Structure 1
Amino acid sequence: MESNASDFDKWKCSVTKNTYYFEQVCNLIKLGNTNKPNGIVVEPDYQREYKFNKEKESSIIESLLLNIPIPIIYLSLNTEKDNVLLNVIDGSHRLRAMYRYRNNQYSLTKLKILKDLEGIKYDNLPLNIKNKLDYKTQINVEIIDVSKNEELEYEVFTRFNQSTNPLSKQELNEVIYRSEFSLWVKEELIEFLYKKPVFVTMFKCTEKRRKDKTINYYLYSCLGYAYSGLIEGKNDTPFYVERFMNQMKKVRGKECENKKIKIKDFILGLLEFYRKISFIEDIESIFSKEFITKEKPEGNHGFLISFLIPLTLIYDYLLFKGVLKRDLSDDNYHEIYNLIVKGMKAVKFGEFGGISSTSYHVQKKCIDSVKSSISHLKL
């Protein structure tokens, strides 16, 4: 099979090597922080959240002072844009560590060799060492021209991170399926939901889960199952997440705006429905075995995808049936809860015994049983 020559032209990397001094690179980052031309943007929308601690940051500075090579920084350049900036494809954390140090945002700590510099910020460095850092320390960069193909930037970033694997699966998803919708979820919806205690509690939001995008993955799991329903033969949650993100990648403009409104309403409705059940039934961890047993889960068992799936689909079913359009009393919620649990217990849901808890057959059996149980609802 012959390759299309135009594909080679479109995706071939044109790379220019360059060298910046420490002071130069920090000044360029400062420009990038305010979107000024020729600035280095260390946090383009696809980059992960900053995870370096002060020890790791200090190690970078110590390496630079000792002329120990650090990995090459890769930047992208798009000269077709009105405002020409350099986006960091690889090396964002290293550059942020440099910039933070030059702006006195941390003191050097746990140095392995330069012990005399322990606890010293940039402004307090001996003048000769400060000058060495600023004017003799070189940062090697390679600039990839993406002017003819903007997608090349994301392709290179993805390939770097698939091979070195510093990103979580969901962090990679948000690059591969980057879209108007995914940026809204990442920059607006998640931030909005984090301000709601009910979301933080139900989805077991921790700082680590927030940073590695685990919470985003949970949310996309919920949406993926809600918008696809169970698909026969598809047993893995990543399939539903990626399928949904790929579908939303194709949605733009007014259609995307309408989707945002519907999805936000769906999530808020789901949270409110299970908040009421949580309050009435005294259940803290809704998306866990506690939903059935009312026994507090231990460790990391306070949030289980295997329970998120049926409870999302059951909520969607109740919406479809119009049950939730009525003015429900606490007794009504209590009855609905008991019928859901009755359906789950009828098929011994939660007693997985080594069988995949997210498999199509396990989940379908549960959903069908709960629907049958709910059919006896008397409102």
Structure 2
Amino acid sequence: MEEFSAATHKPQNIAIKDIIKQISNGFTLQNVEDITLLEEELKLELSDSIIIAPDYQRDYRSSIIDESSLIESLLVGIPIPPVFLANDRFEGLQVLNVVDGQHRLRAFYRFKENKFSLSGLKLLNSLNGSKFNDLDFDTKQKILTHKLAAIVFTDFPGLDFELEIFNRYNKGTKPLTPQEIRHAVYNSNLNNYVNKFAKDMVDNKTSKELQNAYNATKDRYQKKKVQESIFVLMNILESGINESYSKSSIYAEEYMKQKSQLEKNESIYAHDNFLFVKDSFENFNKIIELIGKRVEFPFSKEIYGISSRNYKFQVSIGMLLAGIFHRMISYGISLEVLDDEFALEKFLDYVSNLFKHSYLEDPEYNASSTNPKKMRELINIIDLEELFN
């Protein structure tokens, strides 16, 4: 029988007043510009801060009615499901990420901070319209001293088991998507970078060309579809098409696992690799922005003249472009050659003709458009010397 270590998880009961303090510390910690400048005493104070919305969490979507109902449930003794936290490091300090229970914890924090008035209460309707400061002492005390059940994960047994653990604890709540679970399990500096890049697109802090290219809608961002696509492209930019990967999601999962493991092992290579990946991805995006001035949705069939309004981001097209750029870099051809308007036009004409007459538009081809063998064959057809001379 195969031996493995069990996941370490500690059931705890934490007073809501202590949870609110840890959440407040988490907000303070995330706003510190340089943690290395903090006094040791303050660092210790901020240790075990709760990061209420780590990168893999959903955006906050609860209504005031939902939040009020939670407060009412506590006051009348209706059981509240446990929250799930996971030990992590934030700029060198030990913190607790919220794996499941963000909405519950944020509701308690918001109410204590007088951010909303109770509304829609059915059992304690006399409290409707009340903020925390409006309540009598006994009611305030009942809320703050209530012990909330929490399960804190530490020392996962290994990457092969982590996803299954999160999947099982995730059942019975609002299920996380596969990519949300990956963010919970395979945390890394690259995750933080990707999530910020995706959020910047949604918040209109990047060019319209990039927003269109990645189809960076709020819904796709919240479900982590944008982030998953980025990890797929990053993997291919760095390593090319992998014929052992049958689905695009495998590229994302294996890449995130690899980068997380690098950091967990405290490899001196981890930081240099992060900078390399970031630089490669940003150079890639510069070209995508240029293409986006000619083609509204570059990662779609529009790149070869077929309208794709309902399919603005097609992962197969993105993978092929990333694969072509990987091959260029491998041959020592800098992506900067495409900064030239004539070279870019020539490249787009070539790629358009290549894709249009490939398996992508073959009516007799009925297998996956991300078939790795087909993709590699198509990418390897390109005569780079002819194209860039």
TM-score normalised by structure 2 residue count: 0.76
Structure 1 residue runs without a partner (length 5+): none
- Paired amino acid for 1:277: I
RMSD: 3.7
CA contact (8 A) 2:99 2:184 kept: no
Q: CA deviation at 1:228?
A: 3.1
Contact conserved, 2:87 with 2:96, CA < 8 A, in 1? yes
Structure 1 distance, partners of 2:188, 2:93, is 21
Equivalent AA in structure 1 for residue 272 of structure 2: N
Amino acid at match of 1:287: F
2:387 is paired with a residue whose SS is coil
Cα gap change, 1:265/1:12 in structure 2, threshold over 3 Å: closer, same or farther? closer
Q: Identify the match of residue 181 of structure 2 among 172, 177, 198.
A: 172
Per-residue Cα deviation, 1:91-144 (whole angstroms, up to 9, x for no partner): 332111111112122333444555554454333x4x34x732532673332455
- Cα distance change, pair 70–42 in 1 and its aligned pair in 2 (3 A): farther
Asked if the contact 1:347/1:365 (under 8 Å) is kept, the reply is no
User: Are the counterparts in 2 of residues 42 and 95 from structure 1 also a CA contact under 8 Å?
Assistant: no
Specify the SS of the correspondent of 1:141: strand
One of 210, 216, 220 as aligned partner of 1:199? 210
Residue 287 of structure 1 pairs with residue 289 of structure 2: no
Alignment equivalent of 2:147, drawn from 129, 139, 151:
139
Shift of 1:293: 1.6
CA shift at 1:287, angstroms?
Answer: 0.5
Q: Is the 8 A contact 2:238 2:277 kept in 1?
A: no
- Alpha carbons of structure 1 residues 277 and 88: separation in structure 2 relative to 1, 3 Å: closer
1:234 aligned residue:
245
Note if contact 2:55-2:195 (Cα within 8 Å) is conserved in structure 1: no
1:107/1:119 contact within 8 Å kept:
yes
Contact 2:195–2:227, Cα closer than 8 Å, also in 1? yes
| Alignment partner, residue 339 of structure 1 | 350
What is the count of residue pairs matched by the alignment?
357
1:260 pairs with 262, 274, 278, which one? Answer: 274
Given that 2:51 and 2:95 are in contact with CA atoms closer than 8 Å, whether structure 1 keeps it comes out as: no
Secondary structure at 2:147 match in 1: strand
Question: Does the CA-based 8 Å contact 1:108-1:120 persist in structure 2?
Answer: yes
- Name the CA distance, whole Å, in 1 between partners of 2:249 and 2:309: 25
The answer to whether the Cα contact below 8 Å between 2:237 and 2:281 also exists between their aligned partners in 1 is no
- Alignment check: 8 A CA contact 1:44 1:87 kept: yes
The structural deviation recorded for 1:243 is 1.8
Superposed displacement of residue 31, structure 1:
4.7
Give me the whole-angstrom Cα distance separating, in 2, the residues matched to 1:56 and 1:193.
Answer: 29
SS for the counterpart of 2:360 is coil
Who is 2:13 aligned against? 18
What amino acid is the match of 1:134? Q
Specify the SS of the correspondent of 1:41.
strand
Match status 1:101 vs 2:111: yes
Distance 1:77 1:233 in 2: 33
Q: CA contact under 8 A between 1:237 and 1:358: conserved in structure 2?
A: yes
- Alpha-carbon displacement from aligned partner over 1:62-118 (angstroms, at most 9, x marks no partner): 32233221112355689xxx9887665543321111111121223334445555544
Matched AA of 2:77: N
Q: How does 1:1-379 map to 2 (within 5 A)?
A: 1=1, 3=3, 7=5, 11=7, 13-15=9-11, 17-18=12-13, 20=15, 22-23=16-17, 25-31=19-25, 33-34=27-28, 36=45, 41-43=50-52, 45=54, 48-54=57-63, 55-74=65-84, 88=98, 90-115=100-125, 117-123=127-133, 125=134, 127-128=135-136, 131-135=138-142, 138-142=146-150, 144=152, 146=154, 149=155, 155=162, 157=166, 159-161=168-170, 164=173, 166-186=175-195, 190=198, 195-197=205-207, 198-251=209-262, 252-279=266-293, 282-293=294-305, 295=307, 297-299=308-310, 301-321=311-331, 322=333, 324-326=335-337, 329-350=340-361, 354-369=366-381, 371-372=382-383, 376-377=386-387, 379=389
The structure number with the bigger radius of gyration is 1
CA distance 1:139–1:52, change in 2 (3 Å): farther
Letter of the structure 2 residue corresponding to residue 65 of structure 1: L
Change (3 A) 1:150 1:33: farther
Distance 2:366 2:123 in 1: 51
CA contact (8 A) 2:228 2:252 kept: yes
What is the distance in 2 between the residues matched to 1:28 and 1:232?
Answer: 46
Quick one: which amino acid aligns to residue 288 of structure 1? S
Structure 2 gap ranges (5+)? 30-44
Encode CA deviations 1:237-266: one digit per residue, 9 max, x unaligned: 121112222222343454222222222221
**Taking structure 1 as the reference length, what is the TM-score of the superposition?**
0.78
**Matched residue SS, 1:69:** coil
Against the structure 1 CA distance between its residues 363 and 88, is the aligned structure 2 distance closer, same or farther, given a 3 Å change threshold? closer
Tell me, what secondary structure is at the counterpart of 2:149?
strand
Q: Distance in 1 between matches of 2:2 and 2:334?
A: 58
Q: What's the CA shift for 1:302? A: 0.8
Q: Distance in 2 between matches of 1:94 and 1:76?
A: 16
